[in-house]
Each structure stands twice: as C-alpha cells, then as structure tokens.
Amino acid sequence: MFFWAAWSGYERRYEKTLNSVRNRLAGWVDVRSCEFDAPQNQAWSESLGVTTEPTLVVFVNGSTRRLLVGMPDEQTLVREILNALHTEK
C-alpha cells in the first residue's frame, strides 16, 4: 500500500514506478495506494505507523511486514516486496 498526500504530488511522481512494479509482480502482489491524510483514512494510517509520505507498507496475509518511508528506486522496491513475501513472521 502506497501512502501519499494530495498536496505533495508524490502519487503522480511515482505512478510510473508503481505501475511498473505492479506489472512485474502481477499475480504475486496487489499494489494499491491510499491518501493517508484524507479524513476517512487518518486513523487507519496512524494505526500502521504512517506519519509522513511517501510511505509504502507491505502486507502479507493481512499482517504488516515492511514499512518503507521514502520511495526507493524500482529495483529496491521489488527486492523489499519479495523479501517481505519470503520472511517468516
């Protein structure tokens, strides 16, 4: 889950990277985004530890496995997601 804020422009800035990751990992992961400071999302975002953006939270079977603050390059992002999928909780 990619957390962003409408006022910052990160969603548009990283849209290409997220779409590329979405395509590379199709069938393995579902890449989604969330406006973290929208009133309906604030409590959930805070409960996950999202306090700034951009932040990426990797969930595996509903559990948080990774919380990445900042937006890494595509290779690093793919590696972090795959590592999260293969890490025992």
DSSP string of the chain?
-EEE-TTT-HHHHHHHHHHHHHHHTTTT----EEETTSTTTHHHHHHTT--SSSEEEEEETTEEEEEEES---HHHHHHHHHHHHT---
Give the whole-angstrom CA distance, residue 83 versus residue 79.
6
For residue 47, the model assigns a pLDDT of 94
Give the whole-angstrom CA distance, residue 56 versus residue 80.
10
For the chain, 89 residues long, give each residue's pLDDT as a single digit of tens: 999 888 887 778 888 899 999 999 999 889 899 999 899 999 999 999 998 889 999 998 889 999 999 888 999 999 999 998 887 55
Domains defined along the chain, listed by start: 2-85 (3.40.30.10)
For residue 57, the model assigns a pLDDT of 93
For residue 89, the model assigns a pLDDT of 52
The owner of tokens 């996950």 is 48
